[in-house]
Amino acid sequence: MYPADYRYTKDHEWIKVQGDIGTIGITDYAQQELGDVVFVDAPKVGAKLAPGKSFGSVESVKAVSEIYSPVSGEVTETNPLLVDTPEKINTDPHSAAWLIKLKLADPKEVASLMDAAAYEAYIAEQTKEHSA
Amino acid sequence: MLRSIFRRDNEKPSVNTSAAVELRKTALNSVHRRLGAKMVNFGGWDMPLEYSGIIAEHQAVRTRAGLFDVSHMGELEIRGPGALQLLQWVSCNNAAKLNVGQAHYSGLMTSRGTFVDDLLVHKISDTHYLLCVNAGNQDGDFQHIVANNKFDAGLENAGSRYSQLAIQGPHAAEILQKLTPAPLDTIRYYHFTFGKVGGVDCLIARTGYTGEDGFEIYFAPEYSDKLWTDLMQAGESAGMIPCGLGARNTLRLEAGMCLYGHEIDDTTTPWEAGLAWICKMEKAPFLGSDTLAQQKQAGLPRKLIGFEMLDKRIGRDGYPVLITGHEAGRVTSGCPAPFLKKNIGMAYVPSNENTVGAEIEIGIRGQAAPARIVALPFYKRPQ
């Protein structure tokens, strides 16, 4: 379910690194919790991001959720697919419905994020808390 | 992300969930969980927010049918020779106009002419009324009515004696008719009858909170599983699906209906909320009628409006309304309207600035997003 070559945050973003470019999206767990996604507020190309800083939001019918950058860098691309079909986040959150790409300021930052196994353990814990 | 998403509307964020008070459950709680519903704390009740998704559920009710467990709603019963007098004193609509078998929408008033709650009043007989009230307000409503019972009426806080299911949508009547000998085509809107559904004694009311045709049935909780199953089965071929409180909220907002704690509360009057049609001054005096008469004469400080967003952004509950750059009020409810495919909301604005067609702005995370005042309701079903 959760790609092994991605890294994950506690706020349920994923990042995939290729060279010095990172692609960021939200996880399947996040889209399930949000429900029907209806709007994505993405940053502008060129925006500078810092770890833990909000760079936009994903809105469902019911809720609005800020998105926080896992790492530092500069936005190089936003996903044009999400402008008219934000609901793709519900069906393909780990691939076609990526949110932004950024040029990493420090590729080493990614190492401090959770790997897939750690993230799966983390959401299992979250799920347990919610059903408790 | 997700830092904010568990705080859903009408609900204060709870800091420590493990220490939180045990949530109340309807008789259908395990059915909802078996169906995989996303559950949410609503007014102290553990309720289904959505099953297949708010948009799919919303569209089902507009085009086919949906089944809602609304057993969290409260029921109060007033009996005896003083029943009508008591109702007339505490509520703002004119219950003397009701016929047996008729229901109406009304407000339970404070002495300041504001809302303790909004409710449906069903006249069962000249000396017996059934009130359907909001889940979170039930006990407060009961105490308020008891405190104002100078008419020696009999009062019962009867919520635990009832389950309630809402069958809503253009196919609701044909689905329900499969299970009941009651001639549903003779029950007019806002009327009710007593009859069997699936062999179970029910109060069958042609009422709802979705803007569609439909029924709300009241019955003893022990039959909840059976009636849920019977109804789902009867509705299968018509495409009826289970619907949660998420769709209930988007449906009622599209239909321009008020929600307690949002459009109305103990600081708003029926005039301000656009509910003059349920506030009958000719039956005065009643609780708050002096203040209401004064406000009517002096003019209103604010009025409830409907708005639609002019770009893709969503003006949500609590966001500021900006008129010529200044904060003029707050959004009371705002969300995407799945059937109308617009983003809509309601808000209070100064009553001299409520002109339909006027352009306003909604403050969304520090930015001003354009919107326009539109007439209510946003959606009216085809007759």
pLDDT in tens, A97-130: 999 999 999 999 999 999 999 999 999 998 776 6
B62 and B180 co-located in one domain:
yes
Q: Is residue B288 part of a domain?
A: no
B170 and B147 co-located in one domain:
no
Which of B134, B157, B180 terminates a domain? The answer is: B157
Residue B383: per-residue pLDDT: 79
B250 and B107 co-located in one domain:
no
**CB spacing of A61 vs B250 below 8 angstroms:** yes
Q: Is residue B195 part of a domain?
A: yes
B205 and B339 co-located in one domain:
no
Which band of pLDDT confidence, cut at 50, 70 and 90, is reported for residue A71?
very high
B348 and B232 co-located in one domain:
no
Nearest CA in chain B to A27: B1
Which of B193, B224, B254 terminates a domain? The answer is: B254
Phi, psi at B96, each rounded to 5°? -65, -20
Q: Is the pLDDT of residue B116 over 90?
A: yes
- The single residue listed with the structure tokens 């299911």 is B165
Residue A52: per-residue pLDDT: 87
Q: Is residue B285 part of a domain?
A: no
**CB spacing of A12 vs B2 below 8 angstroms:** yes
Residue B21: per-residue pLDDT: 72
Q: Is residue B200 part of a domain?
A: yes
CA atoms of A118 and A10, how far apart (whole Å): 10
B106 and B233 co-located in one domain:
no
Q: Is residue B262 part of a domain?
A: no
Neighbours of B1 (CB within 10 A): 24
A51-56 own/partner pairs: CB under 8 Å, 24+ apart: A51/A109, A55/A100, A56/A99, A56/A100
B306 and B382 co-located in one domain:
yes
Q: For residue B99, what is the domain's CATH number?
A: 3.30.70.1400
CA atoms of A27 and A92, how far apart (whole Å): 9
Chain B residues with beta carbon closer than 8 angstroms to that of A39: 312-314, 336
pLDDT in tens, B261-278: 999 999 999 999 999 999
B174 and B137 co-located in one domain:
no
B50 and B173 co-located in one domain:
yes
Residue B309: per-residue pLDDT: 98
Q: Which of B2, B38, B335 to mutate to test the interface with A (most CBs of A within 10 A)?
A: B2
Domains and CATH numbers, chain A: 7-131 (2.40.50.100)
The total domain count for chain B is 3
CA atoms of A87 and A89, how far apart (whole Å): 5
Separation in Å, CA of A76 to nearest CA in chain B: 21
Q: What is the pTM of this model?
A: 0.94
B237 and B124 co-located in one domain:
no
Q: Which of A14, A34, A36, A127 to mutate to test the interface with B (most CBs of B within 10 A)?
A: A36
Give the domain range for residue B218. Answer: 23-70+162-254
DSSP string, B302-344: EEEEEEEESSS----TTPEEEETTEEEEEEEEEEEETTTTEEE
Q: Is residue B231 part of a domain?
A: yes
Q: Which stretches of chain B are assigned E, i.e. beta strand? A: 38-42, 45-50, 66-69, 74-79, 103-109, 115-125, 128-133, 154-157, 163-168, 192-197, 200-205, 214-219, 241-243, 302-309, 320-323, 326-337, 342-350, 359-364, 367-374
Residue B370: per-residue pLDDT: 98
Helix and strand numbers, DSSP H then E, in chain B: 8, 19
Q: Which residues contact B171 (CB under 8 A, 6 or more apart)?
A: B64, B65, B235, B238, B239, B240
Chain A neighbours among B 234-263 (CB < 8 Å)? Answer: 246, 250
Q: For residue B381, what is the domain's CATH number?
A: 2.40.30.110
Residue B31 in 3-state DSSP? helix
Tell me the sheet residues that pair with A73.
A49, A104
Residue B202: per-residue pLDDT: 98
Chain B residues with beta carbon closer than 8 angstroms to that of A30: 1-2
Which of B89, B122, B157 terminates a domain? The answer is: B157
Q: Is residue B88 part of a domain?
A: yes
Residue B20: per-residue pLDDT: 57
B127 and B87 co-located in one domain:
yes
Q: Is residue B143 part of a domain?
A: yes
Chain A interface includes B324 (CB < 8 A): no
B171 and B216 co-located in one domain:
yes
Which band of pLDDT confidence, cut at 50, 70 and 90, is reported for residue B28?
very high
DSSP code of B264? Answer: B
Nearest CA in chain B to A86: B312
Q: For residue B168, what is the domain's CATH number?
A: 3.30.1360.120
